[in-house]
């Protein structure tokens, strides 16, 4: 599970490599035959990769086309009027990109030919070549880059949070539901207290999460440095180094704390819901409450990514279970003060503390009651069962 992102990365790199190799070897191509010295075949073949650099006669091209050694061939000639013509013959249609490249090249050649035929003076040529000028002045230079890094940082953060929450909420709830459903919990509670069991489970799962995040950070750092040194990604990384640093900067800051605390609060909720199942067979259902809330927060946050200053985003950035998704939107946007971030963190930490304290105090009753009734009845029964 932990190494799955690296496996995915390796697979995608492998697929990309194979794909690029296969596309570069995708013979046959299009041959160019020119009957005019004004437009040589060699010049045309340099316009796009779709043309073969091999020169050949029209008869050879026709034969190769028949033998499927060529996709097609273009015959370029010049009429008496000086007009350039290109005639394509092929087994399949010429791609739009190839056609655009060919037209652009022929237009340029035709224009040069027209100027020569017109015998215009240098001054006239300058006049004819006059072009309109468009200049742009953008305030806040680099804003588009900022917009990009915000979006990238947000998506990375939220998707990472969502998958970690989803994975570990499910694991927590299922493990606890299994302990309860198999009744092994009775043996455990004859050996340790419910509070120790509860906090032990939480700490254990937190330990696994931290290990997973650490592996991703180290793995990501190593992959980044390897990619920077060489390989297909070197150019991409160098071209976008500013963007990459901005994104990383927005991941490794207070947002990571919001994600971590989100994991804690969702794990507590999962531990609680896992304690409310009646049978081991229901272990899979145990994570449902946490998954639904997590999914709602995840989807809602996507709706408000472009609206970080809306009232909804502002309110939800202070609501526990939601703030781990919504406060990072505002932090990345830079539209929240330090006091706002602090207040949201305090609310989240206090809620986590209160939930952990209350749930641990009723945990023995919740885990030991085994009514096969509704959620609320099981909850009420659990409260009475362990009421000491």
Partner 1 sequence: MLSVNNVSKQFDQVKALSNVNFSINDGTILGLIGQNGAGKTTLFHSTLNFISHDGEILWNGEPITEKSFDEVGYLPEERSLLPKMTIEQQVTYLAALKGMPAKMVSQKLPGWMKKFEVKGKPTDKIKDLSKGNQQKVQLICTLIHDPKFIILDEPFSGLDPVNASLLKAAILEAKANGATIIFSSHDMNNVEEICDELVMLKDGHVVLHGPVNQVRNQYPRTKLIISPTIPISDVATIPGVIDAKQFSDHYQLTLSSEEVGKVVFKRVSNGEYIETFSQQAPSLDEIFRMKVGEIDE
Scanning the structure block, which residue is given the tokens 């609320």?
376
Residue 365 in the binding site for partner 1 (CB under 8 A): yes
Task: Select the residue interacting with partner 1 from 58, 186, 239, 281 (CB under 8 A).
Answer: 186
Q: Does 203 bind partner 1 (CB under 8 A)?
A: no
**Shortest separation between residue 364's beta carbon and partner 1, angstroms:** 6
Task: Between 207 and 231, name the residue whose CB sits nearer to partner 1.
Answer: 207
Name the nearest CA neighbour of 200 among 300, 271, 278: 271
Stretch of 5-13, 178-186, 231-239, 312-320 contacting partner 1, by CB under 8 A: 178-186
Query: Binding-site residue total for partner 1 (CB under 8 A)?
Result: 22
Nearer to partner 1, 93 or 279 (CB): 279
Per DSSP bridges, beta strands 84-90 and 29-34 are: unpaired
User: Using CA atoms, how far apart are residues 182 and 167, in angstroms rounded to an integer?
Assistant: 22
CB 201 within 8 A of CB 267: no
* Nearer CB in complex with partner 1: 64/381: 381
Full DSSP string of 112-168: HHHHHHHT--HHHHHHHT---------SSTTHHHHHHHHHHHHHHHHHHHHHHHHHH
Binding status of residue 189 toward partner 1 by CB under 8 A? yes
Residue 186 C-beta: closest distance to partner 1, Å: 4
Give the C-alpha separation, 379 to 347, whole Å: 25
Q: How far is the CB of 174 from partner 1 (least distance, A)?
A: 12
**SS3 of residue 358 by DSSP:** helix
Cβ atoms 304, 327 nearer than 8 A: no
- Residue from 109, 305, 364, 382 touching partner 1 (CB under 8 A): that is 364
Please identify which residue in 149, 297, 368, 378 interacts with partner 1, judged by CB under 8 A.
368
Among 47, 78, 178, 324, contact with partner 1 (rule: CB under 8 A): 178
Task: Give Cα 249 distance to the centre of its chain.
Answer: 17
Does the footprint of partner 1 cover residue 65 (CB under 8 A)? Answer: no
Q: Which is nearer to partner 1, 182 or 303 (CB)?
A: 182
Please give the backbone phi and psi of residue 293, each rounded to the nearest 5 degrees, phi first: -65, -45
Q: Which of 23, 79, 139, 191 binds partner 1 (CB under 8 A)?
A: 191
**Which residues lie near partner 1 (CB under 8 A)?**
178-179, 182-193, 364-365, 368, 384-388
């Amino acid at each position: 599970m932990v190494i799955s992102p690296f496996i995915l990365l390796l697979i995608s790199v492998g697929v990309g490599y194979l794909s690029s190799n296969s596309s570069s070897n995708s013979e046959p191509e299009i041959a160019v035959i020119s009957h005019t010295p004004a437009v040589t075949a060699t010049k045309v073949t340099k316009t796009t990769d779709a043309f073969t650099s091999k020169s050949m006669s029209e008869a050879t091209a026709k034969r190769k086309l028949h033998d499927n050694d060529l996709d097609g061939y273009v015959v370029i000639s010049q009429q008496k009027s000086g007009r350039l013509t290109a005639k394509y013959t092929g087994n399949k249609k010429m791609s739009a990109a190839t056609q655009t490249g060919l037209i652009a090249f022929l237009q340029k050649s035709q224009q040069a030919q027209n100027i020569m035929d017109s015998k215009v003076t240098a001054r006239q040529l300058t006049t004819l070549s006059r072009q309109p000028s468009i200049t742009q002045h953008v305030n806040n230079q680099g804003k588009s880059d900022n917009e990009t890094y915000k979006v990238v940082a947000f998506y990375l953060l939220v998707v990472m949070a969502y998958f970690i929450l989803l994975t570990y909420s499910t694991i927590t709830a299922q493990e606890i539901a299994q302990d309860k459903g198999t009744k092994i919990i009775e043996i455990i509670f004859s050996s340790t207290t419910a509070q120790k069991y509860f906090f032990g489970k939480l700490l254990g799962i937190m330990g696994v999460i931290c290990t997973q995040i650490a592996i991703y950070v180290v793995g990501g750092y190593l992959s980044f440095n390897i990619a920077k040194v060489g390989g297909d990604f070197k150019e991409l990384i160098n071209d976008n180094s500013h963007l990459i640093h901005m994104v990383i900067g927005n991941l490794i800051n207070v947002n990571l704390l919001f994600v971590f605390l989100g994991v804690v609060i969702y794990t507590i909720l999962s531990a609680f819901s896992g304690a409310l199942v009646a049978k081991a067979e229901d272990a899979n259902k145990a994570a449902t409450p946490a998954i639904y809330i997590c999914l709602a927060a995840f989807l809602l946050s996507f709706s408000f990514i472009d609206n970080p200053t809306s009232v909804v985003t502002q309110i939800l950035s202070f609501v526990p279970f939601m703030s781990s998704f919504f406060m990072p939107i505002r932090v990345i946007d830079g539209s929240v003060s330090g006091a706002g971030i602090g207040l949201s963190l305090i609310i989240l930490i206090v809620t986590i503390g209160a939930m952990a304290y209350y749930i641990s105090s009723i945990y023995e009753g919740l885990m030991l009651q085994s009514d096969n009734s509704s959620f609320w009845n099981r909850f009420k029964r659990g409260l009475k069962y362990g009421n000491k």
